[in-house]
Structure 1
Amino acid sequence: MADIDLNRMSLDDLKKLQKDVNKAIDGYEDKQRKAALAAAEAAAREMGFTLAQLTGLPGKTTKSVSPAKYRHPENAEQTWTGRGRQPDWMKDALENGQSKDEFLISPAS
């Protein structure tokens, strides 16, 4: 490793060096953490488990898709779950005095 004479460096150069060193340390630690995690996951897989099962921590989850609750009366391909932003066809229908219940796919009992 090259010897660096810190006493001859300007304050700006020292701060840049410090920033570069901190960035290199963070990158090294991140790489080591990922390697350790991959090794732990591989060991768990060899034993027939997931790492989440062994640690009791939640694993990677997939977002569940909610079933459609409302359907456009003229175009059955246009549906809405009732969550999130209302589609334009539903907004237009509500503005024209229609009720959401008119568009229910299967009324709740």
Structure 2
Amino acid sequence: MNDFDLSDLDLNDLKKLHKETAAAIQSYEARRRQEALAAAEAAAKAAGYSLKDLVGASTEKSSKSINPPKYRNPDDKTQTWSGRGRQPQWIKDALAANKSLDDFLIVK
């Protein structure tokens, strides 16, 4: 392994090195995952199965389920909220004005 004297680098050089190192690590891990997946698929195929048959699930990344919106801003129809997580500012403002969440329900 190469030894580097990082004390000679300024902040911009250190940030650039950090960014490039993080990208190289991510690329390396992705290649290793692909190699492991290919080896697992080959082993399953040699035994007469697909990898999906053996693990009982898709090898593809599943998409995270998104909660459908429950509330809509009547002043700006593009602003919605699922009712989970932090309240958007337009909900906070409406509640401060003594309005009810029921006033903003999409399906009543």
Q: For the superposition of Structure 1 and Structure 2, which TM-score range results when normalised by the shorter chain?
A: 0.5 to 0.7
CA distance in 2, matches of 1:55, 1:98: 51
What displacement does 1:55 show? Answer: 1.8
Aligned equivalent of 2:86: 85
Distance 1:83 1:38, change over 3 A: same
Runs of 4 or more consecutive aligned structure 1 residues displaced over 3 Å after TM superposition: 41-45, 56-59
Q: Deviations over 1:27-70 (max 9, x none)?
A: 9xx94x7523222236668x785x35422367532101111110
- Output the TM-score relative to the length of structure 2: 0.54
* Residues in 2 aligned to 1:62 and 1:88: alpha-carbon distance in whole angstroms: 28
**TM-score, scaled to structure 1:** 0.54
Q: CA RMSD in A?
A: 3.2
**How far apart in 1 are the matches of 2:84 and 2:53?**
32
**CA–CA distance in structure 2, aligned partners of residues 53 and 92 of structure 1:** 52
CA distance in 1 between counterparts of 2:85 and 2:53 reads 33
In percent, how many aligned pairs have the same letter?
A: 53
Partner residue, 2:56: 56
Q: Distance in 1 between matches of 2:80 and 2:68?
A: 9
Ranges in structure 2 where 5+ consecutive residues have no aligned partner: 1-27
